Structure 1
Amino acid sequence: MKFHLAINLERLDPSADMKALRDHTLEMVQMAEAGGFEIAWAAEHHALEMTIAPNPFQILTWWGEHTSRIRLGVGVVNAAYWHPIRLAGEAAMLDLLSDGRLEFGIGSGAYQREFDRMMPGLAQPDSWRYMQESLPVVQNLWAGDYAHDGEYWQFPTATSCPKPVQSEVPIWVAARAPITFDYAVEHGCDIMSWPLTMPFSEAENYRARLDAAIAKNGGRYDGRWALMRHTAVYETEDDRQAALAALRRVLGQFGNLMMKRGEVVNGFPDPVPLAELEGNARTDPAMLEENLAFGSPETVADKVRQYEALGVDAFIYYASMGLDMDRQKRSLQLFIDKVIPQFAEQTIAAAE
C-alpha cells in the first residue's frame, strides 16, 4: 500500500491568514515527504476560497522547489478549461523544474457553479467528452509536432515546449462513473476515486466498475487505483470533536455548491444550515466517523486495511476539511508514526 497526501489552500472565512495557509500546505507536504508518502496532490478550482487552486502547476512547482523526493500530482485539471497546447506546456514545465516528478491527473470537474462561470453552457455531466479529447492531444504534443482537428479544439501543427523530462509521464484519470472507468482502463491510465462521505459500500461499487471495465478490456489492466478519503487521526476526545465539527462546517459549504443552494459571497459559500444536515447519512457525525478515515491510529489502520483488501493500491489522505492547522499536523504525524509503520511491517513480512 502506497500513501498520498491531498491538501488545498483552504480558507473558510475572511479572518484566515492567506500567507499562513500557504505556508501550512508546504509544511504538510514536507511532513508527508519525510514520512514516506509517495505523491502530494493539488487540485484545480476557481473563485472559491475553500479550495484556492486556480492553477495547480503553480503550487506544485513551489512545493517541488522545497522538496526533493515526493512526486507532484495534478489532482486534477479540468480538461474543459484548458487549451491542450497550454496544458501540455504547463505540465511539461512542471516536470522539467521538478526533475521528472510530475504525476498528471485529468478529469471532468465537479461543480456546475464553476462551469457556469468558466465554460458557460457546458453541463458538468457532459464534460467527460472534453477530457477524452484532450488527453491524447496532450500526449501527442509531448511526443512532437502534431496538428489537431477535433470537436472542441482545432489547431495547425504545434508541439509542447518544453517536453517532459520523463520518457513516459504517469497519467491519472479521476473516475466515478462507469464510462470514465472504461476509458481509463482501455487507455492504460491510473485511476483515482473519491467516495465523498459515502460508506465503504461506495468504494466497493467503484471496485465493481473497475472490474467490469477490466473485463471489457479483455482482462488487461496494469494501472494503479488510488482512493481518497477525508482523514483525521486523533487520540483525545477534544481532537475527535474538533475534527467532526470542522468537517460538518465544510460540508455545509460543500452542500451549497453541490445542491446549488445559497449564495457565494466574495468566494465564500453560504453554508447549508446544520439543522438541515441532521439525519443525512453523509453528514450525521456518527456516520461520518464510521465512513471516513477518522479515529484512533489503530481504527484508521483497520479502515485502510479494508481498502487494501479491496485492491486499492494507494490511499490518498485528504487533509483539507476545515480543521485548524495545528490539529491537521498532529493528525498527519500520528498517521506517519502509528499507521504507516503497520503497512511497512506487512510489506517486510511478505518479502521474508
Structure 2
Amino acid sequence: MKFHLAINLERMDDATDIRAVRDHTLKMVQQADAAGFEIAWAAEHHALEMTIAPNPFQLMTWWADHTDTIRVGCGVANAAYWHPINLAGEAAMVDVLSGGRLELGLGSGAYQREFDRMKPGLDQRDSYKYMQEMLPLVRELWQGDVTHNGTHWQFPAATSCPKPLQDKVPMWVAARSPITFDYAVENDCNIMCWPLAMPMDEAVKYRAQLDESIAKAGGWNGTFALMRHTAVYDNDADRATTIDAIRAALGRFGNVMIKKGEVVNGFPEQVALADLDGNARVDPSMLEENLMFGSPAQVIEKLKAYEALGVDAFIYYASMGLDMDVQQRSMDLFINEVMPEFT
C-alpha cells in the first residue's frame, strides 16, 4: 500500500495566524516527502476559511519548490469553475516547475453553496457533465492545437502553453456514483474516494462499484485510493482533542453541505450535531471506529483491512480543525510506528 497526504490551509477562527497555518502545512508536506509518501494533495475551495485553497496549482507549485521527490496532486479541481485552456496551462506549468511531478485530479465539487457563488444556476448534481467534457479536452490541449465546439465550452484552435514534461500525466477522478466510476475506468483515470464519516461498508460499496466498472470495460490498470480523516494518538488527551475537533469540524462541514446556518467572513457557523444525518455521523465511538483514528496498532489493523479490500493507496487526510501540534504528533506516530508495517 502506498501513502498520500491531503492537507489544507485551514482556520476555524480568526485568532489563528494564517502564517502559522502556512508554515505548518509546508512542514507536514516536507515530512511526508522525507518519509516516502507518494503524493501530496491540494484541494480547491472558495470563500471558506476551513479550506483555504482558491487555486490548488499555487499550493502545488509552492510545495514542489520545497520538496525533493513527493509528487504534487490537485485533489481535485472543480471542472465547472475553469476554462479548459486555463486549466490545461496552469496544470502543465506545475509539471514544468516541479520537474514532472504533476498528478491532475478533476471532480464535480461538493458544496452547492460554492456553486451559487462560483457558477450561479448550476446544480451541483449536474456538474459531472463539465468534468466529463473537460478531462479529454485537457489531454488534447496538451498534445497540440484543438478546436472545440462542446456543450459547455467553445473556442477556435488553441493549445496548452506550456506543455507538461511528462509524456502521460496521471489523471484522477473523484468518484462516488456508478456513472463516475464508469467514466474514470473508461478514460484510463485513477480513482480517489472519500467515504466521509461513513463506516467501512461505504468503502466496500465503492470497491464493488469499481469492480463492476472494470468488468464492463474489460480491464483497468489504474490506482484506487481511499481518503480518511486520520489521527494517530498514544494518550487520552490527544484522543479527546481529536474527537472534539472532528465533531466541531463536522458541524461546520454540515453547514456548507446542507446550507443550514450562516457563513460569516468565511467561517461557517457550527450546525447543531443533532441536525446532521443521524447520530451515527457524529457519535464519538462511531467516529473513532469509522475514521482512521486510534493507536498505532489500531490504525495498522484498519489499514490492513483496506489493503485486503483492494485499496492501492491510502490518503492521510490531516485537516479536521485539529490543533497543529496534535496533527504533528499524529504524523510522527504514523510515520514511525504505522508505515514500517507496510514497507
Query: SS of the residue aligned with 1:45?
Result: coil
Q: Which residue of 2 aligns with 1:94?
A: 94
Displacement of 1:279: 5.8
1:273, CA displacement in angstroms?
2.0
Give 2:226's aligned amino acid.
L
**Alignment TM-score, normalising by the size of structure 2:** 0.99
- Give the Å deviation of 1:276: 4.2
Equivalent residue number for residue 317 of structure 1: 316
CA displacement 1:290-320 (0-9 Å, x = unmatched)? 0000000010010011110000000000000
CA offsets 1:250-299 (integer angstroms, 9 cap, x no match) = 00100111111001000001101245459611111000000000000010
For 1:193 and 1:120, the matched residues in 2 are separated by: 26
Q: Distance in 1 between matches of 2:116 and 2:303?
A: 37
Aligned AA for 1:177? S
Q: Which runs of 5+ in 1 are unaligned?
A: 345-352
Looking at structure 2, the residues matched to 185 and 138 of structure 1 have their Cα atoms a distance apart, in angstroms, of: 17
Paired position in structure 1 for 2:248 = 249
In the superposition, the TM-score normalised over structure 1's length comes to 0.96
Structure 1 residues 176 and 277 mapped into 2: Cα distance closer, same or farther (>3 Å)? closer
**Residue number in structure 1 paired with 2:65:** 65
Query: Is 2:147 aligned against 1:176?
Result: no
Q: Summarize the alignment of residues 333-352 of structure 1 with structure 2, pairs less than 5 Å apart.
A: 333-344=332-343
Look up the SS of the partner of 1:281 in the other structure. Answer: helix
Cα displacement string for residues 128-179 of structure 1 (whole angstroms, at most 9, x for unaligned residues)? 0000000111100000111100000000000000000001000000000000
Amino acid at match of 1:245: D
Matches of 1:146 and 1:154 in 2, distance apart? Answer: 11
Superposition misfits of 4+ residues, deviation over 3 angstroms: 274-279
Do the aligned partners of 1:192 and 1:228 also contact (CA within 8 Å) in 2? yes
Which residue number in structure 2 is paired with residue 156 of structure 1? 156
- Supply the AA of the counterpart residue of 1:133: E
Cα 1:275/1:282, change in 2 over 3 Å: closer
Give distance in 2, aligned partners of 1:24 and 1:33: 14
2:50 paired with 1:50: yes
- 1:185 maps to 185
What is aligned with 1:196? 196
Counterparts of 2:276 and 2:244 in 1: how far apart (Å)? 13
1:279–1:161 Cα change, 3 Å: closer
